[in-house]
Amino acid sequence: MQIDIQIQEKKKNYKVFINELDKLTFDKKVAIITNPKVSGLHLKTLLEHINAKELYIITVPDGEEYKTLETVSFILDRLNEHQLDRKSLLIAFGGGVIGDMTGFAASLHLRGIDFIQIPTTLLAQVDASVGGKTGVNNRFGKNLIGAFYQPKAVYCETRFLKTLPKREFGAGVAEIVKMAVTFDKEFFNWLEKHSLEDEKHLETAIQKCIEIKADVVSKDEKEAGIRAVLNYGHTFAHVIENETNYKRYLHGEAVSIGIVMANTLSLKLNLINKEEFERIKKLLLSYDLPVSYEIKDVNSFYDSFFHDKKSFNHKIKFILPNHIGGFKMVNDIEKDIIISSLKEFTK
């Protein structure tokens, strides 16, 4: 199956291929960026599908805590050592961390070379690999350094998901739930009735999420409007990840908690009702995702919102569900209401 990603600048258009990874031949230098875990499980399979003039493997440490400028600098040094030129190609082979850093490195090397995404996690296949967001974290927060830089193609292979640990799988489900809650009520209803542990159902969900994201990105490549809705749950999640040094939770697990926090605020604003709140929470729990977090300092947590990329003019934009299947972007919520919502996550 193929899904077209249409960008306003047509030269940026590309395709997402689902279970269509055939022989890829490149008459150029190619560097695969991966980590030890992914290479140990799947690199041999990938290499059977790639034929290149020169092929290099660049391995970086595994984990969100390594999503830094230092790691990108390491990648760029290797590209220079191997003398990759402007006709060369990078392949991101891993999860969202690898994809974000590879895309960012591609945008920087010689002021920009091509790259493709071959995501190996559910989270990356349904979200992170599509849309051209690249970047790294710093001590102030998540993804505060980066660029919008579109890949030349994305190849989503469900075969690579068979080795995912249960937690990694659940982390991807959180992103699927995010899209269903904000964009598609019928898709949410379908998720309640169909287990994604079934491979056919999983492929259907991946296709649906990519179609949703393709539509959003085509309308708003650089998050000036509707694309910000894809950050539902993330404003809270990024603070949680930063507070826990990116070590306690996988990104999707933090998003799951962030969804519940956003829903708590939405409930206070009467944008969703208690039944909808519980349905979303129940779906997250059915995949053993965390839905609670102890905030130790409410004021510090609140202040951290202002390091979010969506903050503007000392106001923070919240993405909240407006019933299941709808959304509302708000930036005028009174501080007392936000603080009251956060206090529900203290002991």
Give the catalytic positions in this structure: 111, 133, 175, 213, 223, 227, 231, 234, 238, 251
Say if CB 69 and CB 145 are below 8 A apart: yes
Give dist(CA 149, CA 230) in Å, integer: 17
The closest alpha carbon to 243, from 231, 229, 257, belongs to 257
Integer-rounded Cα Rg, in Å, for the chain is 20
- What Cα–Cα distance (Å) separates residue 155 from each residue in 14, 30, 96, 111, 325? 11, 16, 14, 25, 28
Give dist(CA 89, CA 287) in Å, integer: 37
Task: Report the b/e string of 167-200 with b at 16+ CB within 10 A.
Answer: ebbbbbbbbbbbbbbbbbeebbeebeeeebeeee
Give dist(CA 166, CA 180) in Å, integer: 21
Say if CB 134 and CB 147 are below 8 A apart: yes
Residue 256: what residue type? S
Strands (E), 60-123: 89-94, 114-119
Say if CB 232 and CB 259 are below 8 A apart: yes
Sign of CA dihedral 211, 145, 226, 283: positive
Give dist(CA 105, CA 303) in Å, integer: 31
- Name the phi and psi angles at 136, rounded to 5: -140, 170
Residue 258: what residue type? G
Give dist(CA 184, CA 236) in Å, integer: 22
Give dist(CA 278, CA 259) in Å, integer: 12
